[in-house]
Every structure is written in C-alpha cells, then in structure tokens.
Amino acid sequence: MCKNLRADIRAAKQFDPAARSKFEILLTYSGVKALSWHRVAHFFHKIKFKLLARAISQWAKFWTGIEIHPAAKIAGGVFIDHGAGVVIGETAEIEEGVVIYQGVTLGGTGKESGKRHPTVKKGVTISAGAKVLGGFTVGEYAKIGAGAVVLKEVPPYSTVVGVPGKIVRVNGAKVTDLEQEKQDPVAQELCNLREKLFLLEERLNKYENEKNGK
C-alpha cells in the first residue's frame, strides 16, 4: 500500500502543474485520499470482509466525493484530479499513469453479469464528465474528451469525443467519417450484405433473361 501511495503522489506531482509539494498532495488532494482508502477497502474485499470493505468505500465517498467499488483493480500511479463525482465500478481495471478528471464514470450499461466495467490501459486521459460504459478496453495513451459517452472499445493512441463517442484521431492523424465506418464491424457487415444482395440480383436477372430468351 505504501508503494502505491508513493506512486499516486508522484503521479499527482507529474500531472498537476499546481502541485507544490508531496506533503501538500498527501494532506489536501482528495483523489490521493480516495485511492488510499480504496486500497484498504480492496484488501478487506479480497479477504472476504465485504461488508467492512463496502463501509470503508462509502466512508471515503462521504469525505472525498469519489465513489470506488472495493472490488475495482487500480494500479499505483493513477491520478484523480479534483475528483468530485467520479464513480468507478466493481469490475473496472485501471493501469498506471491514468488521469481521471471530475465527473467521470467508469460504469456498466445494465444488469449484465461478469466483466461489465471498462479496463483502462496505461497512460489514458479521461476528461471531465466523460462516461465510459461497458466491459471493453480503452487502449494505451488514448484520450477521452470532456462529456463524451464511450460505449465501445477504444484503440491505443486515439482520441474520442462526442455522444456517442467517435474516434477523431489515431496516432495524431485525423479519422474521417468514412474511415470510421470502415472500422465499425456493424457497418462492415452491412456493406458485405449489400454486396451479396447485389450479386443475387445479378444472378436472378441473368436467369430471367435466359428464361425469356428460350
């Protein structure tokens, strides 16, 4: 726990230009406090003291405004900036170097069981008010824009904005609507079906022409 706390403080110092000292971060940063309480709650959750774990998480929510389910897996070196209104669900997984701003939700889309909250890979930035909903992966160093609602997998080094979230950049290059449609498996399947329908119509016309010719 101490190792993770040191990593959290280093992340706050790295990502917040207003941070002046490690001591100030430890005493006053609600995101660092919430993560520290979460690690205690997570420990008790792992050893099956689930009611106590839940009570600790609610205590942390009361004091910090950040709600993290005790079962969520969060690496050291995560930075929750400001933090008010942040909600992190039960099966969420967050790797090191992730920055989360206020009002972010890492949640599910319904009452499905199993893995229903996102996995956020290292170096991801999730801007204020964004909602990432579902059991998919947000790839390394991706950026989620403020207020975006993300409902499907995000490739590494990409930028997602809007409601619903759309990929607008990958590796710094702009993604056009046409390129995004090609990347969409549903759109691709519709294109394949349209092509098959065209071939069937061609064969039918050919058959009718042969029949009429006889």
pLDDT score of 191: 67
Same structural domain, 162 and 58: yes
- Tell which residue, 175, 160, 89, has the closest CA to residue 125: 160
Q: Which domain holds residue 193?
A: 184-214
- What is the pLDDT of the chain when averaged over all its residues? 87
Is 214 found in the same domain as 143?
A: no
Number of domains observed in the structure of the chain: 2
Q: In this model, does residue 151 exceed pLDDT 70? A: yes
- Do 56 and 73 fall into the same domain? yes
**Are 147 and 199 found together in one domain?**
no
Could you report the per-residue pLDDT of 58-72, keeping only the tens digit for each? 999 999 999 999 999
- 190 lies in the same domain as 148: no
* Residues 112 and 207 grouped into a single domain: no
CATH number for position 69: 2.160.10.10
Same domain, 72 and 145: yes
What is the DSSP track for 144-201? E-TT-EE-S-B-TTEEEETTTTEEEEETTEE--HHHHHHH-HHHHHHHHHHHHHHHHH
Dump pLDDT digits (tens) for 129-147: 999 999 999 999 999 999 9
What local confidence, expressed as pLDDT, does residue 18 receive? Answer: 86
| Residue 178 predicted with pLDDT over 50 | no
Closest CA to 92 of 62, 112, 56, 68: 68
- The answer on 23 and 72 residing in a single domain is yes
Regarding whether 104 and 73 lie in a shared domain, the answer is yes
**pTM for the whole structure:** 0.77
